[in-house]
Chains A and B, each alone.
Chain A
């Protein structure tokens, strides 16, 4: 669209928006639809907060959020162990998953021939669509027995959860990273090659540094996926009620504890404590989004 077209279009639209009958109401309805998103996030926050208030009130912030002692029989609902479980598994998944995914993205964008690149891309899109129960079941019947045989532990635990999460974050990070790499100007690569740089030198000295923010955002969104993943992790992590520092220890994350206990939690503090875990998850997700916004805002004026 040329700029003069745009000028005419806005002139026409301004006129029609101001004078046409009923246009105001239409606009209002459309706006209402758009604000459903605002309304929804508010409603979710209010309801999850409201349901977690009984636990916060009766147990106190310290006993609920900053204690790792969780045992419904003794009325202890400290969730610190599960917060740690979420952090532990997420970082484990990132340490393996982010290099694998970003490397795959570089492969797709720079190394692979066009046809193979398209094939692998389709495969990764397909992987993104596999339901988490299916991946969890795969982990349960294959990864867990394998780990049991290799390590001599039960096979359930943090490491099995990490491997399952790697599978789940791989498509997210790869797709977004490949998009970022693709959006880099072609001159960057050409200039580097013209200076006599090899492909590898171009990739790690020019392309990866220029794509830094985009790759970071991709990794953070992958983290969001790992923090929120529930069913697949629940099937392989062992669902113990204590936190663990061992890679092969059984434990729970925030999400898996909610799913495991929700069915039998009587109303009052037991159920309310699970909503408080949901509240922590909600805040974690919001923090990630704010961080992403800050990164992309920083990036914009530079370009």
Chain B
């Protein structure tokens, strides 16, 4: 018997994209594994599947993110070329032989290699005092000689705080499109763009092409982030676990914010921060228009101005609040936010987005 290392693995942190896969349908496949593509962020294996007429099609089966799979005990040898497997999954929306696996079973033994589990990161609440520097200022990073990072936002979409609860999925897709007007105070064109992105299931999301998640979206990423406080240099670095090791600089050396037209426009803008008692207040301008600044497809222009407030009421909680002011897109400034949880005693995991994997599979144009 072959040494299958993992018999049951929960795939915890990478659900199928609604733009790519049709969650309302199921597909069952049986075939021989012909290739395994252990690529980040999306691992695939390929199986030759014979239909009733005897025609063989080579299906691409996506089964998660390699980092999450490895964390759950999966190894490169858990599945081998030549294995016959039974796959239950969700088929692609487009007419191509592709599916997202919900379960994979070895035909020979009947043992399940994995079963996809709901995407809820297991981060235990940490109720300890807020760590501080010797001068009493709040630390956003780990306590001295400790490790840890921030993850698991308790909301995965940015909505106007006056809107109340709006049902959305983890990608920011509204359960009910009639709630569009409650999400944010859109200008008419922005509402139409947002609706279009929602109706098309976020298929044009630049993040799917590995473009950086600027603005509040960096705090919605499933792989978390880390603050590096370089007080002697007057800056704080925000390192993202996802988004190809992107980082953002928040200057805390007292420099004034430049005018938006003077700064070099980028995905993360130009950030200057200052501490107001226990809250870090960050002013950000200078964004480009090459990205979506929150899950769900909220539009913005170069006029986007964010005011972010970071508060750490205890070791395990980071409260993120943001005021969005973009008069070319929204009729008034509006606020939103969420809490993130501290993952103690762990290093942030680097998540390498494989550029254009979606474009390669679908034959669509790529983005850079």
Chains A and B belong together in one complex: no
- CB within 8 Å of A: which residues of B? none
A residues neighboring B (CB under 8 Å): none
